[in-house]
Structure 1
Amino acid sequence: MARFPVSALRSVDLGTPDVGRSERFYVGVWGLEVVARRNGVVYLRADGTDHHVLALHPNARPELRAVTFRVAAVDNLAAVAANVAAHGGQVIAPPAANDAPDGGIVMTVRAPQGGLLRFVHGDAMQVPKRPAGDRPERLAHVNLNSVDADATAEFYQNALGFHLTDRTGLMAFVRCNSDHHAVVIADAKVNGLNHVAFLMPSLETVMRGSGRMIDAGFPIAWGVGRHGPGDNVFAYFIDPDGFVIEYTAEVLQVDDDYKFRGPSEWVWPPGRTDQWGIAPPKADHVKAAQLAIPYAG
């Protein structure tokens, strides 16, 4: 297996006009747990070992404030910083002690098309919780909109050391470990957040979590189905602020022998949107929601 300077997707920071409402949703309905509060920010963990997977910030409008990755070694921070500057990005804050509750060493950069990316090493870890049967374990991937998906994918490869796993007509899938993808980059007319995917332990837990969401008044926005690239099961929802979020499971594990497939090889029959053929076409309001969340700043 190739060695990656970035070892995992860790967390996302979302800005919300009503932190209390968002907290109630993500704890009481989605299945996360508050682990810290500081300076008005609420930090939420899943059942796995990450200190937190979601940070909710008070904000005038819903927006994506940052995506955080973990790096394999502290020396990788300097290497990533140099590569970012060489490939059109900007180092906003060089490596320094992290004063947020997760600790460790943190560095913040801005990608060429916007959006803050944070890289941490030595961050605090959690004791994993006993599986509850319908709660997320960690983040699976973040899907970002890009006015030039190929250029963004090249930045992730050349500056951050990701590998391009697959490319459909609309999306580029890049990875930093054995998960088929940690970041998905969608061709779009705007830059920003498309959706955030949370990994569930199994197909059964995707279904049970989806049932809990429906009981709470949040219908499935798209799915349930099984994606092509990544082979993962999915169910999409829209949170109270309009963020599109996904329960997913069974993400394909790959290694260096995986055969890349391009747009001509990822073609569905007319009218089909997933492998099983049971997910309905994505509704217009869901498509609109996937284009509505900008980057901070």
Structure 2
Amino acid sequence: MSLMAFDHAVIRVQDLDAARRWYCDWLGLIELAQDGDIVYLGCGGDEHFDLGLRAGSVGLDHMAFAVAGVPELEELHRQYSERGIACTAIERAPEPGIAAAFRLTVPTGQIFEVMARDGRTSYPHTTKWNPAAAHAPLDINHITFLADDVELPTRFYCEQLGFAFSDLLLPPDADNPWLFSFIRVGENHHDIAIVKGSVGNKLHHVAFLVNGVSEVVRFADRLGRFGWRIEAGVGRHGPGGNSFLYVRDPSGNRIEITADVARLPNRFESPRIWRGELSAVFNVWTEAPPPASFGDGT
């Protein structure tokens, strides 16, 4: 039994109505449901939500990874518990579209949910797409965290939860700590990335996928027309090879718009090792480092 894919994230926002408007009107997501202080949004490819907005503070509420069904969920719950991982009891129908789920806490403090959907996921075919706007992203793609120690959570995800290792950025001096790791559960180059930070273990960004670098540029133009400045980009990362731009939502949560993320079909392939500082791999189009604000999390 194994995790199949990064399914969704729920983040905290200071003003729920302002965040709802920003994510629907600017990002192009569709509001699917509201349950108390949480609004559930989707990209339009199916009826399932991709992002939840929860009123109160900023940062991550929880991230969720999917398994094939409830029997697989129950078996994974048993396996994790036997390994000594503290898991909550399996909860039935905890959120819209979810049949069952349980949660655990990773070493850096984030809530990690394992869940099974309550029905078949629709084919993500363009003839069946129902986006709120032409600029809407295709899907949620990955999530990235700042960590005091990159190696500790990376090993936990890979050795305890079954993630595969994609890329690793090491400093020029091999005796220094890891700088950046990229891990996955399927073919997507990274479902989770972990970067060395100096502000504690925090959410760095949630990424949404669009159809090609030209769409990333159009997104930058759209933000500029409405006076909403991007934080970094447009550029192309080294690890993963994806194009990017970064922007903050009204609460300060960072969102990445990305395209052309690499696919890695060989689960057992050794990770690619990069050496150097973050500025060496942040944008292969230039030697300029990321902005100083890039080290901040929520």
TM-score range relative to shorter protein: 0.7 to 0.9
Q: What residue in structure 2 maps to residue 97 of structure 1?
A: 92
8 Å CA contact retained: 2:238, 2:281: no
TM-superposed CA distance for 1:130, in Å, is: 5.0
Farther-moved stretch of structure 1 (22-31 vs 74-83): 74-83
For residues 23-102 of structure 1, the aligned pairs below 5 Å read 23-49=20-46, 51-59=48-56, 61-85=57-81, 89-92=85-88, 94-102=89-97
- The 3-state SS of whatever aligns with 1:228 is coil
In 1: Cα distance, 2:106 partner to 2:269 partner: 28
> In structure 2, the residue corresponding to 1:27 is in which secondary structure?
helix
**TM-score, reference length from structure 1:** 0.86
Moved more, 129-138 or 220-229: 129-138
TM-score (norm 2): 0.86
Over aligned residue pairs, what C-alpha RMSD do you find?
2.4
1:282 alignment counterpart: 290
Q: Could you say what secondary structure the match of 1:153 adopts?
A: helix
Shift of 1:84: 4.1
Contact 1:11 1:67 in 2 (8 A): yes
Residue deviations 1:86-111 (CA, integer Å, cap 9, x gap): 6664213x223114212311111111
Say which SS state the counterpart of residue 77 (structure 1) adopts. helix
The match for 2:129 is 129
Separation of aligned partners in 1, 2:81 and 2:274: 30
Which digits, 9 at most, give the CA deviation of each residue in 1:66-90, with x for residues without a partner?
0011113434324433454466642
Q: Answer whether contact 1:153 1:185 (CA < 8 A) is retained.
A: yes
Structure 1: which 5+ residue stretches go unaligned? Answer: none
Q: 2: CA distance between counterparts of 1:218 and 1:249?
A: 20
Q: Does 1:10 align with 2:7?
A: yes
TM-aligned CA deviation for residue 282 of structure 1: 1.9
1:152 and 1:270 map into 2 onto residues whose CA distance is 23
| Mean CA deviation greater in 75-84 or 48-57 | 75-84
Distance change >3 Å, CA 123–CA 192, structure 1 → 2? farther
Q: Among 204, 217, 221, which residue is 1:207 paired with?
A: 217
Rounded Cα–Cα distance in structure 2 between residues aligned with 1:178 and 1:271: 25
Which letter maps to 1:129? W
SS in 2 for 1:118: strand
Q: What is the identity percentage for the equivalent residue pairs of Structure 1 and Structure 2?
A: 27
- Take 2:98 and 2:278, find their aligned partners in 1: how far apart are those partners? 48
SS in 1 for 2:5: strand
State the Cα deviation string for residues 226-275 of structure 1 (Å, max 9, x = none).
111111110111111111110001111112175521133xx479777412
Query: Measured at CA, do residues 50 and 233 of structure 1 come closer, stay the same or move farther in structure 2, by a change above 3 Å?
Result: farther
Would you say the 8 A contact 2:80–2:87 is kept in 1? yes
Task: State the alpha-carbon separation in 2 of the partners of residues 233 and 218 from structure 1.
Answer: 20
User: Closer, same or farther in 2 for the Cα pair 1:273/1:121, shift >3 Å?
Assistant: closer
**In 2, Cα distance between the equivalents of 1:220 and 1:64?**
21
> Residues 150 and 232 from structure 1, CA distance in 2 versus in 1: closer, same or farther, beyond 3 angstroms?
same
| Alpha carbons of structure 1 residues 83 and 270: separation in structure 2 relative to 1, 3 Å | same
| 1:207 CA drift (Å) | 1.3
Unaligned runs of 5+ in 2: 171-178
Please give the alpha-carbon distance, in whole angstroms, between the structure 1 residues aligned to 2:203 and 2:84. 20
Are 2:279 and 2:289, in contact at CA under 8 Å, matched by a contact in 1? no
Q: Please name the residue that 2:169 is paired with.
A: 168
**Maintained 8 Å contact 1:87/1:158:** no
SS at match of 1:235: strand
Asked if the contact 1:30/1:213 (under 8 Å) is kept, the reply is no
